[in-house]
Amino acid sequence: MTRSVFITGGATGIGRATALLFARQGLFVGAYDIDEAGLEVLRADITAVGGTGVVGHLDVTDAEEVSQRLGEFHEAAGGRLDVLVNNAGLLNAGRFENIPLDVHHREIEVNVKGVVNGLHGAFPFLKTTPGAVVVNLASASAIYGQAELANYSATKFFVRAITEALNLEWAAHDIRVIDMWPLYVNTAMTRDVKTGTTDSLGIRLTAQDIAEGIVAAVDPALPRKVLRQVHFPVGVQAKALASGARFSPAWLTRWVNKRLAGH
């Protein structure tokens, strides 16, 4: 039995690194994106590491296309969908009022509706695959609302909430739903981003760090399994912020976030 993984936003960054790592581990990989040139490079790289899989166009905001690609992939993978990685995302940084409204709306379309489309479309296939796992890409900005990333941060709170809720609901179907909370990762997404927190915290993680975190979270070590961990902060800084927010009073969490953002 070959396990399979369906990854959105797979052409570059975290999605691409995750696709290659799963391919190396012998999973049948489906990588989908609007960037078809990036996918062609990935296709060759999957073969070069001895992996198998398919790539294809997918705009996650198009619910019909999401369902269609999932159906095709499920068939190509021999009737299995072991892992769904809802990774496609957009980030716009800056003061809220200076970002045009249509840009905010597009970020919500991709980061929120894209995830809903993926979850809804994949459910029938996840349900019929024993031990299926969903990995949603949230962010450390889902710990406390981030200045200069207000709308992005809000979309990641959405991802956090839907992860928590479906982790409860879908346990009855033997589907584990989890999310990743990376802090800044050095990808195209953060290339031109300069905010208070990129200055104070830096951009320290690589796409490979997150891919390794995702692969480890899909097959967790025993303590995490027993504790049924839902959120996976990646890196020392995100882990510190997550536990700080959990154990500090609200005023202190606000103060820390204000200071880190330079406001």
When binding is defined by CB under 6 A, the residue of 4, 7, 8, 53 that contacts ligand NAD is 8
- The piece of 10-18, 77-85, 194-202, 243-251 that touches ligand NAD (CB under 6 A) is 10-18
Pick one of 60, 70, 81, 85: the residue that binds ligand NAD (CB under 6 A): 60
- Asked if residues 231 and 178 have their Cβ atoms less than 8 Å apart, the reply is yes
What is each CA distance from 5 to 20, 95, 148, 166, 218, in whole angstroms? Answer: 11, 37, 34, 19, 11
Residue from 4, 61, 163, 195 binding ligand NAD (CB under 6 A) = 61
Q: By CB under 6 A, is residue 212 in contact with ligand NAD?
A: no
Which listed residue (129, 146, 163, 187) binds ligand NAD by CB under 6 A? 187
Contact call for residue 147 and ligand NAD (CB under 6 A): no
**22 lies in the binding site for ligand NAD (CB under 6 A):** no
Provide CB contacts within 8 A for 165, sequence distance 6+.
none
The answer to whether 139 contacts ligand NAD (rule: CB under 6 A) is yes
- The binding track of 65-104 with respect to ligand NAD, each residue x by CB under 6 A or -, is ----------------------xxxxx-------------
CB of 84 to ligand NAD, least distance (A): 14
Residue closer to ligand NAD (CB basis): 77 or 88: 88
Comparing CB distances to ligand NAD, the nearer of 50 and 182 is 182
Query: Which residues make up the interface to ligand NAD (CB under 6 A)?
Result: 8-9, 11-15, 33-35, 38, 58-61, 87-91, 110, 114, 137, 139, 182, 184-185, 187-190, 207
